[in-house]
Structure 1
Amino acid sequence: MAAAQAAWLAISQPFDGRRGNDEHVAFRRYGHVVAALHFSRDAIHLQRVESLSPGAGGFLAFLRRIIALAAEHGLAIRGNARAFATPEAPQPDQARLVASYAGAGFVVGDGPLFPVAYTPDPGRAATRDPGEVADVGDKLPAHGRGAR
């Protein structure tokens, strides 16, 4: 866990922009995405993920990097795929968000929370290309919203 968290801190930057009612959440920026992650002994927990540039491919790049990080450290990824309105995307698209996670190899449960889970294949962790995610388009999701 400590190594995975250290790796996340090394590839992301602090983000001090206030996001909605989440002033207590410590967001970090990775490319065009801000994310609040929690690291446990066996998983990376996606607390909240938001795109700062919806439609620019930042969410997919973030998923690719988190999947590679999880594979490298033998961790699962867990969260909830809940689309919500933000200033950058006032019209959330839940169906597209669920399709984005599913296309990236996550198992997605039913609503209203839409739990998501990803478990890297331990046999492929060492050889997996960080960009190896099912091609669901570089524009996914248009609203760029993630787990909470």
Structure 2
Amino acid sequence: MQHHTAASTEWIIAQGIADEIAAAARPAPEPIQVVLADRAPFDALAYFRAAQQWRHETPDPREKERLSLLASTQATKYHLLLATVLDEALPVEHKHDYDTRYRALVDQHTHTLLTENEIPHQRVTSAPDSQAHAVELALQLCLNQATP
């Protein structure tokens, strides 16, 4: 993850956009349809910026702007965006090769990007009440969409 480039980030964002479009285009048995996406475009951008900082690289302003514009085109599509907050006390699965400094940088860049771009989101911590609140928000949104 620490080796992301502008090209890999662009691919991740574009593939995510394509996947969301394909999911939304599937015929639904009911007129109400919900598409859940594990990663939003700003997530890929946060990983890229964290990778650059982790590698002590100076971002190319043109690439930074271009990728930000690409990610920002998708922000209005989300009715609910959940942004998890890193809890460094929680263990990482051993199958992942995570660097603790990189994990913290990703978390920092994620929340900075969402705030700087004024993207409405719900912060979700590892606290059970925070997670329960996030689930409740999602369910309420689905119920509101289902009610004529």
TM-score, L = length of structure 2: 0.27
Give TM-score scaled by structure 1 length.
0.27
Larger Rg: 1 or 2?
A: 2
Structure with greater helix share of residues: 2
